[in-house]
């Protein structure tokens, strides 16, 4: 009896611990079409794509369309919507939100967690502007499809430890979010046991080899300099003849820093989380 | 008869009590174990000159026993009679000084050390048996891979003082070498990295004279052993006298001087190339293309060098060590304990790994 009760209690505890997380993460709608720009089937197609990205890259991708920002800046609106609705994968709340405001004709992408590094200022401009022509012509479903399809390249590069980065051109419409700081992706360097072990094996190998060599002192002499008659060594001929010379040239590799730009501009949202982002007009 | 003359043995008797005498490495004198007298070489030689006349008479009648050996054996084996106990001493053909197997009396075979095989010089022992023992214990010290109980368990089976026949080669050498050398310059502008390689042909000629490059003339001795205990200080070389040999083993050479010349050439070549290294500086790569060595006026001197040979038994295996009887330099191959090797390897590996992890933590 007691055991049964205990088992049931345990089940409840486990469920209570696991279920809310699962529900909260997967139940939220990823396509919030408050401006009613798309049909139901289009919305669910985009939902599916977003779910795929979430599963594959652990990045929450949210599309939000609104009629009006009600006086808020696009950055604040996007950041707050993302934070307040509990989007994001993992402890870092990794993910991004594409905000489209019809009245202000603003588009804005807010990034959070790992997505800050996956989509740098440059990346945000690239994926945003890929969708721009469609946005301008009112083909919203196509615009979001292009946007979602552009993401995997950036996520993959990030996962491989080399996020796509470049110069974000802010001379036009595009602007990046508030810049409290600029962060660059740094490969997470944890003390490598393998490296340490390899050093250990090599050093120990050399030391033990030398110790072993010391055990055998019976070996042939090399040379006979001990028996060279003092002062008898004379260099008779010393001729250094220049023969020819050749020059080879190789093109210099382009430096990794392409003058200005690069990195992700980050700021702190009203919830206290760090966000990156950028946007423009359509 | 020639055979009788060849079978003659020599021993040095104490002028005081007629017991056998030994040459002491530490004292550089002949010592009598019985009456504790020490004698100069000159004194003993003068004293023994007359006494030896008699001993020749004594042994001559017994000499024909050697003829009982088969022809073949006679070539390599020789029988002598011990002047002290009358026992028959059978030796190899190269043995010039030995001990009687019955009474341990030191015996010298002058026929193996005279005429064409008379050594030009001898380097007398400067160290004693005790020095050799100490040197061996010193060699075992500070050797972390030595089996733990090697020093306690090993039994020094035999410590033998031995005059080893050596050839000392004097020669003049002419060396001619060609080398291909390069010098590399690198620079770059905004577009390209440039590498300019200058090629040179270097020719070097050098002359040098060498004095007394040693090479052992005994096929019984390991050449690596005899080279490893080099060098000997030739300033202590003495005119050959059989008196130095009493109390030690001695061999006559069985490797003619010409046979060692190949090895001498090799060493001269190495020495000259080393010496020329200094003149090949200032280049980034130097590759020898041709080398010619001419060794001229090669002369070999026949000398006897003092060597202590130690045999030690550890768990049924015999380990041999050699010590330079003049300088006390000892060499040999000590046994390696696989367990200790593994322990040291594991220990160092663990230590360095831990240190490396710590460093990584601190830096990152």
Report the CATH number at residue A137: 3.10.310.50
Residue A84, in any domain of the structure: yes
Q: What DSSP designation does A51 have?
A: H
Min Cα–Cα distance to chain A from B109, Å: 31
Nearest-by-Cβ selection for B213 from A189, A227, A243? A227
CA distances from B65 to A167, B62, B71, B81, B152 (A): 108, 6, 13, 10, 46
Residues from chain A that touch B210, judged by Cβ atoms under 8 A, are: 224, 227-229, 232
Residue B77: the pLDDT is 55
Give me the residues of A, 171-200, that contact B with CB < 8 A.
Answer: 189-193, 195-197, 199-200
Min Cα–Cα distance to chain A from B41, Å: 30
Q: Does A239 touch chain B (CB under 8 A)?
A: yes
CB pair distance less than 8 Å for A215 and B336: yes
- Grouping H, G, I as helix, E, B as strand and the rest as coil, residue A108 is strand
How many beta-carbon pairs under 8 angstroms link A with B? 201
Nearest-by-Cβ selection for A245 from B144, B196, B204? B196
Do the bridges between strand B249-251 and strand B155-188 make them parallel or antiparallel, or are there none, so unpaired? parallel
Min Cα–Cα distance to chain A from B85, Å: 40
Q: What ranges make up the beta strands (E) of A168-233?
A: 175-176, 181-183
**Ranges of each domain in chain B:** 2-118, 129-240+247-333
Q: Does A22 touch chain B (CB under 8 A)?
A: no
Nearest-by-Cβ selection for A212 from B203, B272, B336? B336
CB pair distance less than 8 Å for A227 and B210: yes
Residue B8: the pLDDT is 62
Q: How many structural domains are present in chain A?
A: 1
Dihedral of the alpha carbons of A197, A201, A203, A205, in degrees to the nearest 10: 180
Residue A227, in any domain of the structure: no
Query: Phi-psi bin for B247: left (phi > 0), alpha (psi -120 to 50), beta?
Result: left
pLDDT per residue rounded down to tens, chain A (282 residues): 556 656 666 555 555 554 444 444 567 888 998 888 889 999 999 999 899 988 898 899 999 999 988 888 999 999 999 999 989 888 889 999 999 999 889 999 999 988 998 888 888 988 888 888 898 888 899 999 999 998 999 999 888 888 888 887 878 888 888 888 888 887 666 778 888 899 999 999 999 999 999 899 888 888 888 898 888 888 888 889 999 998 998 887 764 444 445 788 889 888 888 999 999 888
Minimal-distance CA residue of chain A relative to B321: A218
A41 is in which domain, residue-wise? 20-187+260-281
Residue A230, in any domain of the structure: no
CA distances from B225 to A84, B289, B308, B332 (A): 85, 33, 11, 7
Residue B9: the pLDDT is 67
Residues from chain B that touch A200, judged by Cβ atoms under 8 A, are: 348-353, 356
Minimal-distance CA residue of chain A relative to B146: A215
CB pair distance less than 8 Å for A247 and B143: no
Residue A152 near residue A61, CB atoms below 8 Å: no
Residues from chain A that touch B231, judged by Cβ atoms under 8 A, are: 226-227
Go through chain B and tell me how many residues it has. Answer: 364
Tokens of A103: 């009245």
Tokens of A198: 């390899």
CB pair distance less than 8 Å for A217 and B222: no
Residues from chain B that touch A244, judged by Cβ atoms under 8 A, are: 198-199
């005279």: which residue's tokens? Answer: B114
CB pair distance less than 8 Å for B192 and A207: no
Tokens of A18: 């696991």
Q: What DSSP designation does A190 have?
A: P
- Grouping H, G, I as helix, E, B as strand and the rest as coil, residue A182 is strand
CB pair distance less than 8 Å for A249 and B194: yes
Supply the DSSP string of B271-333, one letter for each residue: HHHHHHHGGGTT-SEEEEEEEEEEEEEEEEEEEEEEEEEEEEEETTEEEEEEEETTT--EEEB
């160290």: which residue's tokens? Answer: B127
CB pair distance less than 8 Å for A234 and B207: yes
Q: How far apart are CA B175 and CA B49, in angstroms?
A: 51
In which residue ranges of chain B is pLDDT below 70?
1-9, 50-78
Tens-place pLDDT, residues B51-105: 655 444 333 333 333 334 444 444 445 677 787 787 888 777 788 888 888 888 8
pTM over 0.90: no
CA distances from B240 to B21, B124, B306 (A): 18, 9, 13
Buried b (16+ CB within 10 A) or exposed e, A240-273: eeeeeeeeeeeeeeeeeeeeebbbbbbbebeeee
Angle ∠(A226,A232,A234) on CA atoms, nearest 5: 115
CB pair distance less than 8 Å for A204 and B352: yes
Task: Using only the alpha carbons of chain A, give its radius of gyration.
Answer: 31
**Angle, helices A140-159/A121-136, rounded to nearest 10 degrees:** 160
- Grouping H, G, I as helix, E, B as strand and the rest as coil, residue A153 is helix
Tokens of B306: 């003092």
Residue B71: the pLDDT is 47
Residue B236 near residue B123, CB atoms below 8 Å: yes
**Mutate: best of B360, B361, B362, partner A, most A CBs <10 A:** B360
Residue A188: the pLDDT is 64
CB pair distance less than 8 Å for A224 and B264: yes
Q: What DSSP designation does B194 have?
A: E
CA contacts within 13 A on the Cβ side of B336: 16
**How far, rounded to the nearest angstrom, does the alpha carbon of residue A75 sit from its chain's CA centroid?**
21
Q: Does A235 touch chain B (CB under 8 A)?
A: yes
Tokens of B305: 């060098």
Supply the DSSP string of A21-41, one letter for each residue: HHHHHHHS-SEEETT--S-HH
Tokens of B334: 């000590």
Nearest-by-Cβ selection for A226 from B231, B351, B354? B231
Phi and psi, residue B313, nearest 5°? -110, 120
Helix (H) / strand (E) element for A31: namely strand A31-33
Helix extents (H) in chain B: 2-6, 41-60, 71-76, 129-140, 150-153, 223-228, 261-277, 338-363
CA contacts within 13 A on the Cβ side of A94: 19
Residue A3: the pLDDT is 63
Q: Which of B332, B333, B329, B331 is nearest to B126 (CA)?
A: B329
Residues from chain B that touch A190, judged by Cβ atoms under 8 A, are: 364
B20 has which bridge partners?
B13
Min Cα–Cα distance to chain A from B128, Å: 21
Min Cα–Cα distance to chain B from A36, Å: 51
**Angle, helices A193-215/B338-363, rounded to nearest 10 degrees:** 140
Q: What DSSP designation does B129 have?
A: H
Residues from chain B that touch A195, judged by Cβ atoms under 8 A, are: 356, 360
């Amino acid at each position: 009896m007691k055991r049964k009760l205990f088992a049931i209690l345990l089940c409840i505890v486990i469920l209570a611990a696991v279920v809310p997380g699962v529900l909260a993460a997967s139940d939220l709608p990823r396509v919030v079409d408050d401006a009613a720009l798309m049909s139901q089937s289009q919305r669910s197609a985009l939902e599916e794509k977003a779910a795929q990205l979430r599963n594959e890259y652990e990045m929450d991708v949210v599309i939000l369309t609104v009629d009006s920002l009600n006086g808020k800046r696009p950055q604040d609106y996007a950041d707050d919507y993302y934070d307040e609705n509990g989007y994001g994968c993992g402890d870092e709340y990794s993910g991004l939100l594409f905000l489209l405001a019809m009245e202000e004709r603003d588009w804005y992408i807010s990034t959070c967690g790992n997505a800050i590094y996956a989509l740098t200022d440059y990346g945000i401009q690239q994926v945003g502007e890929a969708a721009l022509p469609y946005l301008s012509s009112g083909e919203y479903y196509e615009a979001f499809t292009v946007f979602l399809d552009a993401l995997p390249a950036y996520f993959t590069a990030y996962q491989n430890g080399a996020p796509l980065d470049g110069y974000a051109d802010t001379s036009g419409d595009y602007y990046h979010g508030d810049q409290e700081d600029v962060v660059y992706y740094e490969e997470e360097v944890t003390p490598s046991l393998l490296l340490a072990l390899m050093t250990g094996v090599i050093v120990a190998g050399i030391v033990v080899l030398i110790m072993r060599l010391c055990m055998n002192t019976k070996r042939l002499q090399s040379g006979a300099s001990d028996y060279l008659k003092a002062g008898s060594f004379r260099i008779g001929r010393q001729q250094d003849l220049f023969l020819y010379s050749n020059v080879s040239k190789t093109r210099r590799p382009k430096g990794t820093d392409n003058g200005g730009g690069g990195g992700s501009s980050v700021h702190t949202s009203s919830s206290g989380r760090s966000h990156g982002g950028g946007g423009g007009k359509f | 008869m020639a055979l009788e003359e060849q079978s003659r043995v020599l021993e040095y008797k104490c002028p005081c009590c007629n017991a056998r005498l030994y040459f002491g490495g530490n004292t550089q004198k002949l010592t009598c174990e019985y009456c504790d007298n020490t004698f100069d070489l000159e004194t003993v030689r003068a004293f023994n000159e007359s006494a030896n006349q008699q001993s020749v008479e004594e042994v001559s009648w017994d000499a024909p026993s050697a003829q009982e050996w088969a022809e073949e054996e006679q070539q390599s084996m020789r029988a002598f009679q011990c002047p002290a106990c009358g026992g028959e001493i059978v030796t190899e053909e190269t043995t010039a000084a030995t001990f009687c197997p019955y009474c341990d009396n030191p015996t010298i075979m002058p026929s193996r050390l005279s005429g064409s095989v008379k050594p030009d010089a001898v380097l007398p022992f400067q160290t004693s048996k005790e020095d050799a023992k100490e040197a061996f214990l010193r060699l075992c010290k500070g050797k972390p891979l030595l089996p733990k109980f090697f020093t306690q368990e090993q039994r020094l089976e035999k410590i033998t003082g031995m005059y080893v026949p050596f050839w000392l080669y004097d020669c003049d050498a002419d060396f001619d070498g060609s080398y291909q050398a390069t010098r590399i310059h690198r620079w770059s502008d905004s577009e390209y990295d440039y590498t300019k390689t200058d090629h040179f042909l270097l020719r070097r000629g050098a002359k040098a004279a060498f004095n007394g490059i040693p090479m052992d003339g005994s096929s019984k001795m390991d050449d690596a052993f005899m080279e490893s205990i080099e060098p000997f200080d030739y300033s202590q070389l003495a005119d050959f006298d059989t008196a130095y040999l009493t109390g030690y083993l001695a061999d006559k050479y069985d490797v003619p001087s010409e046979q060692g010349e190949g090895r001498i050439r090799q060493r001269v070549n190495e020495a000259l190339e080393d010496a020329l290294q200094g003149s090949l500086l200032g280049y980034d790569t130097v590759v020898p293309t041709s080398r010619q060595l001419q060794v001229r006026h090669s002369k070999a001197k026949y000398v006897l060098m003092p060597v202590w040979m130690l045999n030690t038994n550890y768990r049924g295996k015999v380990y041999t060590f050699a010590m330079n009887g003049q300088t006390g330099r000892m060499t040999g191959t000590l046994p390696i304990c696989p367990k200790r090797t593994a322990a040291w390897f594991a220990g160092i590996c663990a230590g360095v790994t831990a240190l490396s992890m710590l460093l990584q933590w601190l830096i990152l």
